[in-house]
Each structure stands twice: as structure tokens, then as C-alpha cells.
């Protein structure tokens, strides 16, 4: 278990047999029977598989779970966790024990501190103890919780919290949601929180909790957060590990997060996991968004299986946490360029950990917060139903951004760049079945043989950022064929412009893969067949076509090429829907089946 997990509580387990668990007489807060009851309540509320799984990737083997021992280096897993007995044992180094023993050994704390940590994870009140007995980490967690309570109370203050409540109301965040996420405000002064907590916690605790700062060379402390909306970072089980703080106006930075501390590590923490874990199933999926308020808005809209990263890119530790809870992830990042790039980075991390991944592609300018505020859960569900798998998202993203302003003309063919990204993703996937399925999907999307893609993935492990030769060669050959087909259409339209309406009725400019052909088709579809002005790709291609020899029967050439391009588009749509059907259920599956049948009938008509 990592330091972040000490404040995190997971689920419920049953009673167990095992060593290291019992409270010794007189060792508890008061040595009473009530203390023994407290220990047993904590024991019953802590599932050992979930607890150890936060630190050790576990895999079910028969009735037990196996992983690499966290107490010694090993390559072959010999560390066994028994869910029924709630006990762990390493067959190599012979360590073993229960949940309390595990926390004692990993966190280097005494028995009472271990029980307290697990008690807070489970949301069970800790009995009062003498001040001298309280562990350092427990003191930090208590101070953080006290700060969250103070911030909440200030938000509810009729005068002090009025502006913040009005801001939250404008954002559509209901009072019930505010209470659920323990939202609050930090006052504008320099000593509001420090003054409130000083009598209960030492300056050293407030400094370590990152609730206070101290000027260099000075002795007095000041509030770390001032005049900000406060979002507690709550771990599973209810412990507050830190805060996200948002400015009310134009103050920079807009978001100020707690620095890393002995209890908070942003690369391990997932915001709203405390709430979301109650609404997911092992065979289900988790929605992952970028921002705190995105997650809050999603929960309020009823999409409660949602978490957010904590001011950082998605990490392998995030992915491992998700893997222990669900089978799949629906990435739902902002629709701007930064959000799209973040999704590309996250895909590799999630796939490498063995998760199923889909991308819910939001319209440009939208984020999850604005989407559900405007269209509600139904709006998000519609986009979720049309989500892209990882391969298709990469392909579409690269094609979509290939013509964006600022892109270097020599940055290469977008399909080759897209395939390069997919090959790099494949190189990180070690699970055999998942790797094969991704290779099959890439073959469908890019129209290349599975052998070429699989060989490129193998080479990518040693090729670094260089595009493997099989990819470059295959894409160039494919590009030549598709480019020629599209140019034949445009050449025919130049010679038989009366067929432009026929082409416009059957094809869209985005159906063309070649960037120059797509640009010229877009211009013609809007202005008619003529030479575009300027020196852009469309104008250059039009001049080239104008200088070619006239076809013997340009009308037949245009109609035949339109037919072939429509078939190509429908075949791609058919493959995409068949892939989506594999992961769909209910009404979504029925809709996809109907679309597949409709496309298949259309293709059959075109082939006769």
C-alpha cells in the first residue's frame, strides 16, 4: 500500500482468521471492551484483497490471489492473498499476516496507528486517545479533515460564503452536491485557518499537511489557501488527503492544488473515487474526466461512475487502481486540442494495464461539465453510444488535425502518423489476446494486412520514435492507390462538371483521404467546378488536373468512381459498427445491429 492509500478506504470484507490482528489488553485508547469492538469493526470493514491490491497487482489463481511480494524482490509471483481467510502469505520470504499487519509492515507504524489508518479508510470514527499516543500521520489526516470542516462552515456562513454560493449556483451545482463533495471556501485573510486550528495542531503538523506556509527565515505561519473555492481531495473511505482550490475571478493560477505530502500523491489519487466506487461493477467501466468540476457535474447528472485525475496526466498507478475495480474506461476529456492530446497520451497507459478503452469524443469547445449542464445525462449517453475505440480515435484524430493551421507541411502523411501511434500503442500491450484484437482492429481501420501491423509492432519495441519500415512501405502503397482513385473522380468532374450534383449527393469531401483531393473537393462542393484562387493544395491540384489528357468517357469515369468511393466508405462504416457491437448492450446493441443490416443491404445493392 502506498502512502496515498493510507487515507483511503476500500469496501467491506468479512471476518477472518489471521495473526497480528487482536487488540492487546490495555493497548487501545482506553483498554476497554469498546476498543476491542472498534478493532473488529475496522477488521470487518477492510477487504484484504482490495487493500493489498492498491500496492501489489494481484491476479486470481484458483481461490487465492497471487502477486509479486512487496517485501522482497522477485520475478515469479509467490505472494498469496486469501480472500476467505483475509490473510496474506509469501511462500518465498515467509512473511504473513492480516490487514493490520500489512499496514504495520508497509507503513512502518505501530499496531494502533495501523488500526487508525484503516478506521479512517472505512469511515469509522476513531475513539479518543491521549494526545501523546497519536501518530504523526494520523495527526496530519485529522488536521486536513478539520480544515475541510472549517472551509465547509465558511461556505455556509450567511455573509462570508455568499459570493461563493452565488458562484456555485451559476455553475449549476446544487446544495446537496456541495455537501456530498464537502465543498467550501478559504477566506481572503492570511490567518483564517491557521488561527482556527492553532490550538489543536502544532505549526509543524499544519506545515506538513500543506495547510500553512512559512516565510523563509520567519517563524510565523500563514494560510496556504486564501480567497478560493475549496474542493477536498477525499480518498475512498472518507479521509481528506489535500485540496484543490479554484480562484473566483481572474487570479492566477486558476487552480491551485495541495503540494505533495506524506499522505497525498497526485500520481496515485483519483478524485471522486470515494463516491464512484459505490456505483461500479468489476465487469463495468469507469468514466475518466480531467477536472474536479467535470467529475462533480457528471455525478450530479447521475453519471456517478466518474473519476478525475488530480492536476496531472493519467499515470500507470491510476490505471492499476482502475483495473482493480473495472474492466473498462471511457475517456471523456475536453473537446479542445489539449484534451484530445491528453486522451492520446492516456490511451497507451490504460491499454498497457489491460483495460478496455473507448473515447467519448466531445465537440470542440465542450467539456463534460458544459455538456451535461446543457444536454444532461442523455446528451452524454448519446455520445457514449457513439464512442470510438482506441484505434479508430487515433485514426480520426490524426486525419482531423492534419489540415489545422500551424501544422508543418512536411509533418508527413496523417495516416502514416496515425498508424505509427497505433503501432506504438500495440508495442506496450503485452496481453496476447488483447494485442491480437487490437491488431485486427488496426487492420480493419487502416486497410493493411494483420501481418504488416503485427511485424511493425514487434519492430517498434526497438525502433524508438522511428516509423517501422513495414508501416512506411505499406502506407505509401495504400496511399498511392487511394489517391489515384480520388484523383480520377476529380479529373472526371473537371471534364464533366455537369455531374457535380451527382457527386455532391453521394459523397462528402471528408470521404476523401488525400489531403489535396479533400481540399479541392471541399472548394468545388461549395463554389462549383473551377480553378480555385491562390497557391494552396486545392489550386495546385486543380491546375494539375486541368493539364491532363481528356478521358474518352469522363461521365462513365465519374459515375464508376463515385460508386467505388461510396462502397469504400460503407465498408469502413460497417467495420466500425461491428467493432462497436462487440462492446454494446441493450438499446445501443439493437441500434447497431439495425445499422449493420441497413449498410449490408446497401452494399449488396451496389454490388449487383
Tens digit of pLDDT for each residue in 343-353? 889 999 999 99
Which contacts (CB < 8 Å, 24+ apart) does range 247-251 have? 248/163, 248/164, 248/167, 251/227
Range of the domain at 9: 4-128
Same domain, 296 and 246: no
Cell numbers 482513385: residue: 485
3-class state of residue 76 by DSSP: coil
Q: In the structure, what pLDDT confidence band is assigned to residue 23 with cuts at 50, 70 and 90?
A: very low
Same domain, 547 and 602: yes
Question: For residue 264, is it within any domain?
Answer: no
- Phi/psi region, residue 20 (left: phi>0; alpha: psi -120 to 50; beta: rest), is left
Question: For residue 50, is it within any domain?
Answer: yes
Distances in Å between the Cα of 595 and the Cα atoms of 8, 248, 359, 598, 600 are 45, 47, 21, 5, 8
Give the whole-angstrom CA distance, residue 294 versus residue 288.
10
pLDDT(485) > 70: yes
Give pLDDT tens digits for 430-466: 889 999 999 988 888 887 778 888 888 887 766 555 5
Q: How far apart are the first and last CA of the chain?
A: 64
Q: Domain end: 225, 257, 289, which one?
A: 257
What's the total number of domains in the chain? 5
Mean pLDDT score, 25-31: 40
Question: For residue 228, is it within any domain?
Answer: yes
Same domain, 76 and 180: no
Same domain, 76 and 189: no
CB contact at 8 A, 328 and 358: yes
Q: Domain end: 386, 421, 452, which one?
A: 386
Same domain, 562 and 597: yes
Q: In the structure, what pLDDT confidence band is assigned to residue 25 with cuts at 50, 70 and 90?
A: very low
Q: In the structure, what pLDDT confidence band is assigned to residue 583 with cuts at 50, 70 and 90?
A: low
CB contact at 8 A, 124 and 73: no
Cell numbers 446544487: residue: 174
Cell numbers 491488431: residue: 439
Amino acid at each position: 500500500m502506498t502512502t496515498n492509500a493510507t487515507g483511503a478506504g476500500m469496501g467491506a470484507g468479512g471476518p477472518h482468521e489471521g495473526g497480528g490482528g487482536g487488540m492487546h489488553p490495555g493497548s487501545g485508547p482506553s483498554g476497554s471492551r469498546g476498543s476491542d469492538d472498534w478493532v473488529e469493526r475496522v477488521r470487518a470493514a477492510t477487504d484484504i484483497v482490495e487493500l493489498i491490491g492498491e500496492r501489489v497487482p494481484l491476479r486470481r489463481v484458483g481461490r487465492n490471489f497471487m502477486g509479486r511480494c512487496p517485501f522482497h524482490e522477485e520475478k515469479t509471483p509467490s505472494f498469496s492473498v486469501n480472500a476467505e481467510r483475509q490473510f496474506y502469505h509469501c511462500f518465498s520470504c515467509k512473511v504473513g499476516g492480516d490487514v493490520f499487519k500489512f499496514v504495520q509492515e508497509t507503513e512502518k507504524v505501530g499496531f494502533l496507528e495501523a488500526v487508525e489508518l484503516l478506521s479512517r479508510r472505512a469511515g469509522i470514527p476513531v475513539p479518543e486517545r491521549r494526545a501523546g499516543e497519536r501518530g504523526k500521520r494520523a495527526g496530519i489526516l485529522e488536521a486536513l479533515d478539520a480544515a475541510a470542516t472549517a472551509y465547509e462552515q465558511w461556505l455556509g456562513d450567511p455573509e462570508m460564503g455568499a459570493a461563493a454560493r452565488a458562484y456555485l449556483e451559476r455553475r449549476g451545482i446544487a446544495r446537496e452536491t456541495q455537501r456530498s463533495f464537502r465543498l467550501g471556501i478559504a477566506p481572503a485573510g492570511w490567518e483564517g485557518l491557521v488561527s482556527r486550528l492553532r490550538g489543536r495542531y502544532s505549526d509543524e503538523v499544519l506545515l506538513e499537511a500543506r495547510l500553512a506556509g512559512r516565510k523563509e527565515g520567519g517563524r510565523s505561519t500563514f494560510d496556504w489557501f486564501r480567497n478560493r473555492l475549496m474542493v477536498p481531495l477525499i480518498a475512498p473511505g472518507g479521509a481528506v488527503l489535500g485540496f484543490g482550490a479554484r480562484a473566483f475571478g481572474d487570479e492566477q493560477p486558476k487552480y491551485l492544488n495541495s503540494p505533495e505530502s506524506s499522505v497525498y500523491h497526485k500520481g496515485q489519487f483519483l478524485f471522486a473515487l470515494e463516491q464512484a466506487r459505490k456505483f461500479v461493477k468489476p465487469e463495468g467501466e469507469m468514466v475518466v474526466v480531467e477536472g474536479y468540476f467535470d467529475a462533480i457535474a457528471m455525478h450530479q447528472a447521475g453519471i456517478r461512475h466518474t473519476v478525475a485525475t488530480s492536476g496531472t496526466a493519467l499515470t500507470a498507478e491510476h490505471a492499476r487502481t482502475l483495473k482493480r475495480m473495472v474492466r473498462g474506461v471511457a475517456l471523456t476529456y475536453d473537446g479542445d486540442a489539449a484534451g484530445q492530446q491528453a486522451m492520446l497520451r492516456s490511451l497507451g497507459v490504460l491499454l498497457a494495464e489491460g483495460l478496455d478503452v473507448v473515447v467519448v469524443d466531445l465537440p470542440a469547445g465542450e467539456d463534460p461539465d458544459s455538456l451535461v449542464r446543457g444536454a444532461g445525462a442523455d446528451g452524454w449517453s448519446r455520445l457514449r453510444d457513439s464512442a470510438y475505440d482506441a484505434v479508430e480515435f487515433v485514426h480520426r484524430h490524426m486525419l482531423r488535425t492534419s489540415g489545422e493551421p500551424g501544422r508543418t507541411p512536411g509533418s508527413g502523411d496523417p495516416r502514416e502518423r496515425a498508424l505509427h501511434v497505433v503501432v506504438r500503442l500495440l508495442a506496450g500491450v503485452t496481453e496476447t489476446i488483447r494485442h491480437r484484437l487490437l491488431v485486427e482492429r488496426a487492420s480493419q481501420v487502416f486497410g493493411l494486412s494483420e501481418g504488416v501491423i503485427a511485424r511493425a509492432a514487434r519492430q517498434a519495441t526497438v525502433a524508438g520514435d522511428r516509423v517501422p519500415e513495414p508501416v512506411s512501405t505499406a502506407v505509401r502503397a495504400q496511399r498511392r492507390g487511394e489517391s489515384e482513385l480520388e484523383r480520377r473522380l476529380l479529373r472526371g468532374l473537371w471534364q464533366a462538371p455537369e455531374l457535380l450534383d451527382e457527386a455532391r449527393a453521394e459523397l462528402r469531401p471528408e470521404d476523401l483521404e488525400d489531403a489535396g483531393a479533400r481540399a479541392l473537393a471541399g472548394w468545388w462542393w461549395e463554389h462549383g467546378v473551377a480553378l480555385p484562387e491562390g497557391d494552396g493544395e486545392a489550386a495546385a491540384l486543380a491546375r494539375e488536373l486541368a493539364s491532363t489528357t481528356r478521358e474518352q468517357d469522363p461521365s462513365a469515369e465519374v459515375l464508376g468512381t463515385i460508386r467505388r468511393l461510396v462502397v469504400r466508405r460503407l465498408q469502413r462504416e460497417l467495420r466500425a459498427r461491428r467493432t462497436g457491437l462487440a462492446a454494446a448492450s441493450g438499446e445501443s446493441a439493437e441500434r447497431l445491429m439495425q445499422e449493420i443490416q441497413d449498410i449490408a443491404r446497401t452494399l449488396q445493392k451496389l454490388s449487383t
